[in-house]
Homo-oligomer: A and B are copies of this chain.
Amino acid sequence: MADATTKFLLHEDDIPTHWVNLTPDLPGAPLPHALHPGTKEPAGPDDLTPIFPMGLIMQEVSPEPEIEIPEEVRDAYKLWRPTPLHRARRLEQALDTPARIYYKYEGVSPAGSHKPNTAVPQAYENAKAGMKKLVTETGAGQWGSSLAFACSLFGLECEVFMVGSSYDQKPYRRSMIQTWGATVHRSPSELTEAGKSQASHPTGSLASRSRRRSRSRRRIRTPTTRSGRCSTTCCCTSRSSARRRSRRWRWQATNPNVVIACVGGGSNFAGLAFPFARRVLRGEAKTRFVAAEPAACPTLTRGVYRYDFGDTVGLTPLMPMYTLGHDFVPPPMHAGGLRYHGDAPLVCALVKAGVVEARAYRQNETFEAAVKFSRTEGIIPAPEAAHAIRAAIQEADEAKEAGDERVILFNLSGHGHFDLAAYDAYLAGTLEDPEFSEQDMEDALARLPEAPAIA
């Protein structure tokens, strides 16, 4: 990272040809298998065929450290990648820090976040397998809009079930989904069994989380007759998508002291961190890693490491992860993408091994960081990304205290164009600042499903 440069832009030929799979490099015992939700025996590739197309299964179970990105996916990536890497010089000056702060900006994608990086290959593999339509779930709309965009590229129909409160309060994400040709339903709906069972929930949060984690994997083969069906399950949450978002640039030769990203399910963190983490696991570097999460949904900092379902209604395989209980409903907060009860097994394994440090931040302090960032670097960040900014500023302040010139790299995972009402609330001093209480923790522990101990 040459000192004189502010913004790094690569040529499209530099879009990576492979995804990083960290599985073979994990320390200690191999990553525990997911368990079949009925038998509680290890789930194998056969258990996945009703859910995934073969292309995704092969990625899911691969022991290879690198997985080739299909040419068609790389072609689609060219619509917005390579994304820029910025030196945050104006933020550094405002903080009066000797640290050097870099951020990778994912908000330039059509959907405005990192999520198309995994939505595009998921749509591609389904189209290649002959699927005609994908059905998915979305919370605040980031994932639903990303999948709608991805489906539009491969001629797939797309149907999105959107959390009721977001459907009502965030009409613009709904509009994006429709502009890309997909249909949207308010969730829970009367169109699915899962929806009917959740219909009494006022916001739809419960159903939302379950469907959201399943993402595009619940698909149907005869869309004209079963277009409302949304019942199959998912597996391994963002483990595979984590693999799909890595090795982004040539600056791996550089050596940041600390790499920071926010964590909801883990794919955003993994996309930035895994190529660097592999170097650490192989003894080639000493980079630290910080996973920034909300204090109101502190899965990595306060959750327990054990088997739990990936979805709220308990239909998915059991996965080894830090969890607050699969039916945990976080309080309302604006970083909708960070409201997941667990985390990707690969990310959890890195926390468990002490490779990644998790930190939880309160909502108001993340918005304070976001406004400081907006007024120095220009970009108005998504509330999710604001957690990473908060951690980066903490590191920069510590660098000032210690008088060191540490190099900080964080992922600015998306823009905040659809979150401006939250900025209004912060600036007006009326933003809620929810936390996770001892009672919440006790409740979470009481709700955990029976499952074998992690070996």
Residues of A within 8 A of B (CB): 5-7, 9-12, 75, 78-80, 82, 86, 90, 108-110, 112, 149, 152-153, 171-172, 175-176, 178-181, 371, 374-380, 417-418, 420-421, 423-424, 427
Cβ-defined partner of A12 (8 Å) among B6, B75, B78, B109: B6
Copies of this chain in its oligomeric complex: 2
The residues of B that contact A175 with a CB separation of less than 8 Å are 420-421, 423-424
The residues of B that contact A420 with a CB separation of less than 8 Å are 171-172, 175-176, 179
- Subset of 15 A-B contacts with CB under 8 Å: A5-B12, A6-B75, A6-B78, A7-B78, A79-B90, A79-B377, A109-B378, A110-B377, A110-B379, A152-B374, A152-B378, A153-B378, A172-B421, A181-B375, A417-B418
- Known A179-B427, A371-B179; contact A9-B82, beta-carbon cutoff 8 A: yes
The residues of B that contact A9 with a CB separation of less than 8 Å are 9-12, 82
The residues of B that contact A153 with a CB separation of less than 8 Å are 90, 378
Known: A152-B378, A153-B378, A180-B375. 7 other contacts (CB 8 A): A79-B378, A80-B378, A172-B417, A172-B421, A175-B421, A176-B420, A179-B380
Q: Are A110 and B380 in contact (CB under 8 A)?
A: yes
The residues of B that contact A181 with a CB separation of less than 8 Å are 375
The residues of B that contact A109 with a CB separation of less than 8 Å are 378
Closest to A173 in B: B420
Residue with the greatest number of chain B CB neighbours at <10 A, chosen from A79, A90, A181, A374? A79
The residues of B that contact A86 with a CB separation of less than 8 Å are 79
A414 CB to closest chain B CB, in angstroms? 12
Q: Are B427 and A374 in contact (CB under 8 A)?
A: no
